[in-house]
A = this chain, B = another copy of it.
Amino acid sequence: MAEPPSVVSFLSDYGTRDEFVGVCKAVMMRLAAGVVIVDVTHDVAPFDVRAGSLTLARAAQYLPPGVILAVIDPTVGTARRAIAVEVETGFLVGPDNGLLAPAVAMLGGASRAVSLTNTDYHIEAAGPTFAGRDIFAPAAATLATGVELFDLGDPIDVHGLMPSILPLTRPHGDGIGGEVLWIDRFGNAQLNVEPDELSQLGFSVGAAIEVKVRDQTRLARWVDTFADARPAELVALVDSYGLIALALNQASAAEALHLQANTPVNLSPPS
């Protein structure tokens, strides 16, 4: 079993304009004296489970051992389960809607899981709608204090957790059909394409790649780092997570190409 953790890493779509995040933290601090809380981000777009799951997966390997609390919960109040999942480095707590799945996989898979049905660990509230405050944060804090996982609710099958639907690439003409996973703050567009997939097409660093987005066609040069891009030159590079990203040097590739998450992007040899 994992060591009793005392760090909670926290991700949500709560934003920071309301008191939601502060209240969840306060709840955890009251239940787990001395707990340390790390904000992964709270600015995931409202209800965007896919974006949140990818953000969590990118962060997971760097987070301290302990508890990961993730709340993006568009179907709060339905039959979707509230769960806690044990992994080698600790626990993940959140709704069973696919949000946790990629991070669980990144952390080596689930060993045990429960549905958070034990109401002794819930906070009573005037209304039914704030599961972060009343169910998830208390569960995360409780696990952080070392309470046994199975005390929090009914054991569930780790193979029955909601999976995440991550897009696969597919062959497209003499190239590869992918899509945008993530636009970061600087406008870099991470694709679901691995460098090996480009290598197998015969590309190597320095090569020109034809990039097709909707009805636009542009050339990108495969470079090692942002700084290798000439002003306004579109480049492809291996980003800090090991995936291919489209980028401009000190400018936004997403703006220039009208890219957003999910936009299909085809890469092929120049025609």
Contact = CB atoms under 8 A, between A and B. Distances in A.
Given A126-B242, A240-B127, A185 B26 contact: no
Contacts of A36: 29
Contacts of A184: 18, 20
A250 B77 contact: no
Given A27-B62, A77-B224, 15 more contacts: A9-B26, A16-B42, A16-B43, A20-B184, A23-B62, A25-B39, A26-B59, A30-B62, A46-B185, A62-B133, A76-B227, A126-B241, A127-B239, A128-B225, A133-B240
Interface string A186-206: 100000000000000000000
A14 B185 contact: yes
B64 A26 contact: yes
Interface string A35-76: 010111111101100000001101100111000000000111
B17 A128 contact: no
Contacts of A130: 240
A41 B182 CA distance: 23
Main secondary structure of the interface of A (DSSP, over half): loop
Interface in A118-136: 125-130, 133-134
Assign chain A's interface to a size class: 35 or more
B227 A18 contact: no
A36 B238 CA distance: 33
A187 to B, nearest CB: 8
Contacts of A59: 19, 22-23, 26
Nearest to A25: B38
A72 to B, nearest CB: 11
Q: How many copies are assembled?
A: 3
A143 interface: no
Contact of A30 (B29, B58, B64): B64
A100 to B, nearest CB: 15
A78 interface: yes
A7 interface: yes
21 contacts: A7-B29, A11-B19, A11-B22, A16-B42, A17-B44, A18-B185, A22-B38, A22-B39, A22-B40, A22-B41, A23-B58, A23-B59, A25-B39, A75-B227, A76-B227, A77-B226, A127-B241, A129-B240, A130-B240, A133-B240, A134-B240
Contacts of A134: 240
A228 interface: yes
A20 B185 contact: yes
A44 B17 CA distance: 6
